[in-house]
Chains A and B, each alone.
With several copies, the nearest count.
Chain A
Amino acid sequence: MDLLEYQGKQLLARHGVPVPSGKPATTVDEAVAAAEEIGYPCVVKAQVQIGGRGKLGGIKVAANRAEVEEHAGNILGMDIKGLTVHEVWIEEASDIASEYYASIVFDRSAKSSLVMLSTKGGMDIEAVADEDPDAIAHLHVDPLLGFQDFHGRRLAFDAGVDADVIRPIGDMLAKLYETYLEEEALLIEVNPLIITNDRSIKALDAKVTLDGNALYRHPENAELTDPSAEDPQEKMAKERGLTYVKLDGNIGILGNGAGLVMSTLDVVAQAGGAPANFLDAGGGSKAEAITSAVEVILSDSKVTAVLFNIFGGITRCDEVAKGLIEAFATINPTVPFVVRLDGTNDVAGRELLAEAALPNVHTVATMLEAAEKVVELAG
């Protein structure tokens, strides 16, 4: 789960990481009220999960009330790379002596956590990594040992930070790691981490990704939302506990298991079709989940045909069949369905479908055949 800038910074602040003070606002009036409280100059920052918003006019300094009104008015509702700005963050202006970069990444490949620090902050870190890899100090932290003081010292000396901030930077990295661990983040990136003229350090921006699987342990984080980021179908699917990703095509796809669904998308594409979505009904889906998933798929008006590709393990094909029959009873779909059922209770599932004799539902024997059929029907 990706957090908005201000959500991430508030999370960091809870663990003692210094951040500029600020307030979120969803209307111009709220923005003005926030600015009046914070004082001038202040910064109006668009809250969207995408880089480069500054260049596109999503970050503006306001010297007074009128400017806040103007900037908030412009930024709220603005489209930034396809995302609509629903919220701004009004923040005290910071003076900047230096811009550094710090991050902690859950490194699947190394099975540990990667901590990075660079004095080349404030810019695209991937460009720095390409052009001057030595400018980014990095090390892995043994998960059983945790972040030690020497990790912080080593990063600070290796990155070549100013001598007077060696210790504060080390302390800040320790706090970022604490946040990362205790909030169960998969990524914490602070860019820029600034040194002010009076030599204090602050996280001026923050990108935080939390582990969705761990949210049950962090109910306060589970409530954080990003109104700009979600597609209506994706939101609907999420509310129903389905893994759904919207794509550009017209063939609705439902399968069980991420790998099989991805493979189905590939096979449909190879057969000349364009998938409208990725939808993993998950392991052990009951009939209701299937009915619910059909609703999600069909709520995308571009869909002209739907493919069910099920190979049941923990999922039982008879439940899938029941769910589809129920969907026909309640929402009466008008597009054709191609259904391939194999695996646990497949015979029972196919029998149920045969008995139900649903209109325009085609049962096929193999995945390849199913893909070809649905492409043909989708038109």
Chain B
Amino acid sequence: MSVLVGADTKLVVSGITGREGTFHTLNNQAYGTNVVAGVTPGKGGQNVEGIPVFDTLHKAVEETGANTAMIFVPPRFAADSILEAEDAGIELIIAITEGIPAHDELRVYNHIKANGRSRLIGPNCPGILSPGKANVGIIPASFFREGQVGVVSRSGTLTYQIGNELAQRGFGNSSIVGIGGDPVPGSNFIDILELFENDPQTELIVMSGEIGGDAEEQAAEYIRDHVTKPVIGYIAGFTAPPGKQMGHAGAIVSGSKGTAAAKAEALEACGVRVGRTPTAVADIAAEILGA
């Protein structure tokens, strides 16, 4: 097993004909992901290396039965593409696009939640990799192999770093889920922790957070109350100065709220061991799993 993406994934890519869209779609396909369709308005009837392209997501779903959408369009079109995927009945929408306006995200989040039909991962996320099964997004899959550690992270490249540290110790992953660093992520730590808790393949969960917001604090309480599997935490941004925005819209600290130290404390208070470096995370994993 794995979570969210796997053998049952039938992927449609919104923005398939863009340079990056094509590159990563073909990467995902080469990895073994079942890519059934792409969407680019006005390019319906064409194909990308044999993957049929449609004008609308509805048509793509109708013709191919796609159940998962990857959004790879520029920020100004991304909210519309996500809503289109939701309207077309897609169950899992993975939005890679970075830089979507915050009010667009707010509207999209609340609409999707009100309807309760789709799950959104991202935006501004690296996607989801279930090693050995499917890769949807931009995670460099060759660094990871199948195993028992589930990883959920707000940051893309940091996820690779942690996954890589684990790999060097010989641990593989059930799934690696990047939830994205934006102000209003479609799914939060808790949503993914719940999935890993219920996934038989996952024996250990690594949760990688960063400064800003209170998603880690909320997750800490959830872990204490609902997660029986061991969880290792990591928080980036101990050296971030208050009030400064560090790249991610998420990575901003105001006052004592949302600092790395406060988050690490909150996690530890709920029984989660926190590694201070990616390497330390792997050390703790080795201790728990006995490598």
Contacts and interface: CB of A to CB of B under 8 A. Distances in A.
Direct contact of A and B (CB under 8 A): yes
B210 interface: yes
B160 A181 contact: no
B110 A311 contact: no
A266 B181 CA distance: 18
A314 B20 contact: yes
A275 B114 contact: no
Interface stretch (B4-12, B224-232, B235-243): B235-243
Given A153-B41, A258-B181, A262-B210, A106 B56 contact: no
A259 B102 contact: no
Contacts of B24: 314
A255 B157 contact: yes
Size category of the binding interface on chain A: 35 or more
A269 interface: yes
Contact of B214 (A109, A163, A184, A186): A109
Contacts of A84: none
Contacts of B156: 257, 259-260, 283, 313-314
Interface stretch (A15-23, A27-35, A144-152, A300-308): A144-152
Contacts of B215: 109
Nearest to A109: B214
Interface of B: 20, 24, 41-42, 44, 55-59, 75-77, 80-81, 83-84, 87, 98-104, 106-107, 109-111, 113-114, 126, 138-140, 143, 153-161, 164, 181, 183-184, 208, 210-211, 213-215, 218, 234, 236-241, 244-251, 255, 260, 276-279
Given A214-B102, A262-B240, A367-B279, A311 B107 contact: no
Contact of B277 (A184, A261, A263): A263
Contact of A150 (B84, B158, B213): B84
Given A269-B238, A275-B239, A315-B157, 5 more contacts: A108-B213, A214-B104, A259-B208, A266-B260, A342-B143
Contacts of A344: 140
B101 A311 contact: no
B213 to A, nearest CB: 5
B85 to A, nearest CB: 9
A341 to B, nearest CB: 12
A265 B260 CA distance: 13
A144 B103 CA distance: 11
B106 A283 contact: no
Contacts of B246: 243, 245, 258, 261-262, 278, 280
19 contacts: A111-B184, A142-B110, A142-B111, A144-B107, A149-B77, A149-B80, A157-B56, A163-B42, A216-B76, A245-B246, A259-B248, A260-B158, A262-B246, A262-B247, A268-B239, A278-B240, A311-B164, A342-B160, A367-B279
A361 interface: no
B140 A157 contact: no
A158 B44 CA distance: 12
A163 B44 CA distance: 11
Interface in A157-199: 157-158, 163, 166, 181, 184, 186
A284 interface: yes
A270 interface: yes
A213 B41 contact: no
B98 to A, nearest CB: 6
Interface string A78-99: 0000000000000000000000
Interface string A113-138: 10000000000001000000000000
A111 to B, nearest CB: 6
A176 B158 CA distance: 39
